[in-house]
Amino acid sequence: MNETQDDTLEQFIEVAAKALELPIDPTWVPTIKANLQVTLRFGKEVAEFPLSDEAEPAFVFEA
């Protein structure tokens, strides 16, 4: 999903809000979309980093 697919992202927000039972006022959508674009861009950047299938997540993190 890239940042130019404005309509797609707006449709995604609408559907995801229904699926998650989140009441969304239409006036909130532009800001939600802007935030989601950033989170997805950062998520893509992370996901592109090559790690082995065996790489363990650090959910319960130990320093």
Q: Which of 13, 11, 12, 8 is nearest to 28 (CA)?
A: 13
Cβ atoms of 36 and 13 within 8 Å: the answer is: yes
Residue with token string 């229904």: 18
Number of residues written out for the chain: 63
- CB closer to another protein, 4 vs 49: 49
In angstroms, give the least distance from the CB of 63 to another protein.
Answer: 4
- Asked if 44 touches another protein (CB under 8 A), the answer is yes
Enumerate binding residues for another protein (CB under 8 A): 12-13, 16-17, 20-25, 28, 31-33, 35-36, 38-40, 42-47, 49, 51, 55-63
